[in-house]
Amino acid sequence: MNAALATLALATIVQSGALPHGGSYLLQRDDASPTTAIDVWFRAPNAGYGTPVPGLARVAATAAAAAKLESGKSLAETVAQAGGRLTIQVFPDIVGVDVVVPASDARMVLASLTAAYFSPSIDDSALHAGQSDAAVLAVQQQYETAALE
């Protein structure tokens, strides 16, 4: 990144800081869109190295999103009811959880996101949802890989 782009990027940062246990955050404002994007990345080893495959990290990330929170709704339900989108991406050593919601729902969704991933309480139903999601992705990846050969 050249100096001009770095300066521009720093100029748009509204707030940054440190989270407990070594995390950090950056908040940026873009008044051109009435939405809020929240991205959380975790170091979480998946299955092996090289081509990412669905594994334990995917099961855990999906189960955390499906688990009921104190509000009685899961993160996935909260995002869906807000009209937003929840995406979970798994790589060999990192899991990314991306949420896009209307800006008016950002605080509520951020509270659900932090509760789901910083202090998860995963029950049997949420674990089953995570296992099912990982199994479906494993089969899809198998067919996608076969189509490329």
Residue-level pLDDT, tens digit, the chain, 149 residues: 455 444 445 555 577 777 776 667 777 777 788 898 888 888 777 664 556 555 788 888 999 999 999 999 999 999 999 999 999 998 877 888 999 999 999 989 999 998 998 888 899 988 898 888 888 877 877 777 665 55
* pLDDT for position 116: 92
* 89 burial via Cβ count (<10 Å: 0-12, 13-18, 19+): middle
- List residues bridging with 58 in a β-sheet: none
Rounded CA-CA distance 143/114 in Å is: 35
* pLDDT for position 53: 52
pTM: 0.73
Phi, psi of 13 (to 5 degrees): -75, 125
* pLDDT for position 5: 46
* pLDDT for position 78: 96
* pLDDT for position 1: 45
* pLDDT for position 119: 85
